[in-house]
């Protein structure tokens, strides 16, 4: 069985949906009427950097996810389940028939407005340690205003709380054995935390007047980690609760695996969820990718600038020990951009200061992860081990899917 998953906030970026707006022009026209501004311009040009604002980011992601769903309906076989991470849950419900495109977009727009009105907080990802260690660390250091907002993978959690508390606890977590990163998340408030309760209450009032249709395909709830039931009132309640309760993504994926899902396909502008699913289904993080990236930083970025000293440099040691000046940081950033194929600012090199910290930062960026270790696994082997491809080939072999459609679907996955 297969499941299509939809990403949420934090995946927005300039140029999103570029290849799909022209292919499905009706959707953006309908979106413009709901939103009152040109969604294609927002996504492709990002005027005044509005995509960094919750009130613009959430509708943009919903629309682009809908474009990817339109493409999937033409290019890919039907799904047995849908799931979405946080905001992505609305895309999953739209795909399953809970509401039409405009109704979903109206809900998302109002949700974004309510969530955007809650200020004074932020979110940050803790990478590398278990839930127990995260909870114990928060308790030991009396971080009562910080909660786990996202259970993203067995060793990746997102914390939500005030700017002050997150800033204080950051230095604490960075000293905890096993922590590989404490990384701010690109959102404007303390989402999925008790601070969002007022927004959840106002959203519940709006949901009461919305008609919800019967789901044609099961959708997994972020709140429960189980499928939404047939009761529309229950669906409304869970959507309201989701704003102030944690996203239990790990539970969602474990349920789907236990239900027989072997192929997960991410529909959207990133592969963040794909990476998380890999970590959940293997029950361990992916240390080899991190190790390869650290070695590439030493060999391909540091060594050309400072010589062979880079190869023996401690991965956790500060770059300050190398006596680098500002010109070297600029050159390192340029070289990093060339090596990884994405822009890297000099202050990123300076702020993270060590090979390990820089690698952990880069691995949180979906535009870098794919380029981090291009030689880590040969392409033919990767395709053979991809369960989504295996499922498509199986469907082709038993006659469920034609050869041409199978080839198109595999190309879409690539």
* Residue position matching structure tokens 């294609």: 40
CA–CA gap between residue 228 and residue 331 (Å, rounded) = 52
Q: Enumerate residues 6+ apart whose C-beta is below 8 A from 46.
A: 14
Are the beta carbons of 372 and 292 closer than 8 angstroms?
yes
The bridge status of strand 156-162 relative to strand 147-153 is antiparallel
- pTM listed for this prediction: 0.69
Which of 68, 70, 85, 86 is an active site residue?
86
CA–CA gap between residue 185 and residue 285 (Å, rounded) = 19
Tokens, residue 147? 């909660």
192 included as an active-site residue:
yes
Which of 192, 221, 270, 352 is an active site residue?
192
Instruction: Print pLDDT tens along the chain (414 aa).
Output: 899 999 999 889 999 999 999 999 999 999 999 999 999 999 999 999 999 999 999 999 999 999 999 999 998 999 999 999 999 999 999 999 999 999 999 999 999 999 999 888 999 999 999 999 999 999 999 998 999 999 999 999 999 999 999 999 999 999 999 998 898 887 878 999 999 999 999 999 999 999 999 999 999 999 999 999 999 999 999 999 999 999 999 999 999 999 999 899 999 888 889 989 998 988 644 446 778 888 889 889 888 888 888 888 888 888 888 888 888 888 888 888 888 877 888 888 888 778 888 888 887 765 654 444 443 333 333 334 465 666 667 656 655 455 666 676 676 665
């Amino acid at each position: 069985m297969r499941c299509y998953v939809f990403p949420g906030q934090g995946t927005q970026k300039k140029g999103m949906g570029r290849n799909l707006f022209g292919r499905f022009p009706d959707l953006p026209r309908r979106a413009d009427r709901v939103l009152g501004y040109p969604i294609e311009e927002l996504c492709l040009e990002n005027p005044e950097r509005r995509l960094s604002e919750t009130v613009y980011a959430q509708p943009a992601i919903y629309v682009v996810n809908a474009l990817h769903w339109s493409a999937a309906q033409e290019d890919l076989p039907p799904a047995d389940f849908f799931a979405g991470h946080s905001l992505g849950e609305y895309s999953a419900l739209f795909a399953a028939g809970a509401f039409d495109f405009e109704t979903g977009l109206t809900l998302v727009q109002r949700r974004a407005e309510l969530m955007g009105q809650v200020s004074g907080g932020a979110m940050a990802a803790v990478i590398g340690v278990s839930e127990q260690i995260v909870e114990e660390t928060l308790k030991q250091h009396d971080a009562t205003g910080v909660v786990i907002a996202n259970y993203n993978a067995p060793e990746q959690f997102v914390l939500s709380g005030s700017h002050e508390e997150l800033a204080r606890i950051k230095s604490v977590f960075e000293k905890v054995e096993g922590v590989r990163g404490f990384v701010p998340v690109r959102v404007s408030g303390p989402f999925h935390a008790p601070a969002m309760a007022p927004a959840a209450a106002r959203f519940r009032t709006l949901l009461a007047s919305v008609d919800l249709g019967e789901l044609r395909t099961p959708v997994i709830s972020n709140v429960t980690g189980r499928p939404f039931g047939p009761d529309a009132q229950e669906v409304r309640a869970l959507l309201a609760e989701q704003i102030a309760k944690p996203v239990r993504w790990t539970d969602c994926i474990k349920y789907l695996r236990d239900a027989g899902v072997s192929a997960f396909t991410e529909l959207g502008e990133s592969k963040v969820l794909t990476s998380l699913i890999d970590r959940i289904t293997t029950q361990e993080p992916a240390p080899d990718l991190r190790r390869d990236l650290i070695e590439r930083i030493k060999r391909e970025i540091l060594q050309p600038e400072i010589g062979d000293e880079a190869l023996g440099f401690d991965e956790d040691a500060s770059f300050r020990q190398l006596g680098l000046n500002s010109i070297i940081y600029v050159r390192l950033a340029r070289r990093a951009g060339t090596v990884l194929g994405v822009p890297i600012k000099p202050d990123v090199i300076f702020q993270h200061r060590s090979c390990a910290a820089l690698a952990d930062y880069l691995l949180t960026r979906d535009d870098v992860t794919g380029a981090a270790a291009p030689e880590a696994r040969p392409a033919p082997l990767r395709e053979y081990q991809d369960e989504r491809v295996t499922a498509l080939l199986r469907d082709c072999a038993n006659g469920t899917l034609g050869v041409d459609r199978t080839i198109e679907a595999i190309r879409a996955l690539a």
